[in-house]
Structure 1
Amino acid sequence: MGPPGAGKGTQASKLARARKLTKLSTGDMLRDHVARGTELGKEAKAIMDAGELVSDDIIVGMVRSAIEGRDTEGVRVLLDGFPRTPGQADALEELLQAFDASLSAAVLLEVNEDELVSRLLQRAQEQGRSDDNEDTIRTRMRVYKEQTQPLIDYYQGRGKLRKVDGLGSVEDVFARITEVLS
């Protein structure tokens, strides 16, 4: 986990490949629904365009559906973008218990806000992401701080949180993640 632009998706993909994990990305799921114009996608797009977090009910339902639709025997899953709130974390715990599974760690990528804004504006230019303009970025940072700090506290209190400096090259950050997960 980490703020928008911290490199979560990049690092999650790299870690999933390196450790042969199944990656489930709520961001990818949401963008897929938006691209297909589903009802969920339309609702989610309006929320994301305003820089707000999509509701726990919508996200938990998507994750539950993605997990329940797979053969999970012996599968190790990397969750990218989920959970984002203590409510989602509680729902994840219930879902994992249903599959006789557990969470091994929650990785937090830490990056200062100026760097994040710079990264997101660059990404907006490169990828044409409508949810990445400067006003929306600032709103997303505020929402992240308000809504995600309780999740950080949640995992810190359970001894599951692993903090990683998210500045530097992709390879340097990946090496730090690998180290804290060893």
Structure 2
Amino acid sequence: MYALAVNGSPRKGGNTELLLREVLKELQGTGWTTELVQVGGTAIRGCIACQKCFENKDNECAFKKDKFNDVFAKMLKADAIILGSPTYFAAVSADLKALIERAGYVAYANDHAFSGKIGAAVVAVRRGGATHVYDTINHMFQMSRMIIPGSTYWNMGFGLGMGEVVQDEEGLANMRHLGKCIDWLGRAITPHIGDYPRS
């Protein structure tokens, strides 16, 4: 099975990435193929509602001048998609929001292409606002007919400076448990993914 983690933070090696890597490490230990891709800081643009994806139905966005289609192709292959974001003014980063807008819409236009996939949100936060970030990511998963695993708490880690999140042992433990839950859910649903209702 293949898990894709998407880093919505522009800070490579920052707290969001560290949390995502903690989840992926758990999955790697159980035999999953994993990959982390960088979206934060790549100037990915938001959806312009041109609706070409509904006309073309080719699993791509008509705008091809950024990295969206490369990331979306990986999302289509993934059994589990883990979207990570820092908390910016109680919201997701602009680049991750752009990915959510376009990925959700293109998947919808292509026969609900994310149906039955596992989706998990991971949030880095200094102090407050993380629950809204968590909800924003999960709303796209829910509208895309995806399955969201639970864990020991909302999937967030606390820290401000680069790497400070490693001091949040409860947050790191939550990420490890999230990895375990994704693995368990993946093994439970894999034989039935083709049976997921699309209409």
Query: Which TM-score bucket, shorter chain as reference?
Result: 0.3 to 0.5
Normalising by structure 2, we get a TM-score of 0.41
Normalising by structure 1, we get a TM-score of 0.43
Identify, as 1 or 2, the structure richer in strand. Answer: 2
